[in-house]
Amino acid sequence: MRTFVAAAVTIALLTMPAYSQGLTNGKKHHPPEQKTEESKNKVDEKAYKSALDRLPNQKQNFDPWQNVREKPQAK
């Protein structure tokens, strides 16, 4: 009988940490709601467009190596 009680107490003590991880202040813990993929894409697209609007206009023909290259000689 002692063996049975000792085994039951041991099992109960070993399962307490796993059980308590699911509880918060005596209430079950629910994970935060997941945003839907569509609304997340809309937010990302809006942030992307606003970032592009903040970029200054750049020259299309910018060449950082223009002073390094030799100019072609006329034949």
The predicted pLDDT at position 10 comes to: 92
Query: Which run of H or E residues covers position 23?
Result: strand 23-24
Q: Does the structure show a pLDDT above 80 at 36?
A: no
Best CA proximity match to 63, nearest among 71, 73, 51: 71
Q: What is the pLDDT of residue 22?
A: 63
- Tens digit of each residue's pLDDT (9 = 90 or more) over 13-26: 887 776 666 665 55
Look at 37 and 14; give whichever has higher pLDDT: 14
Per-residue model confidence (pLDDT) at position 3: 94
Query: Per-residue confidence at 7, pLDDT binned at 50, 70, 90?
Result: very high
Tell me the average pLDDT of the chain.
77
DSSP3 helix / strand / coil % (the chain, rounded to 5) = 50, 5, 45
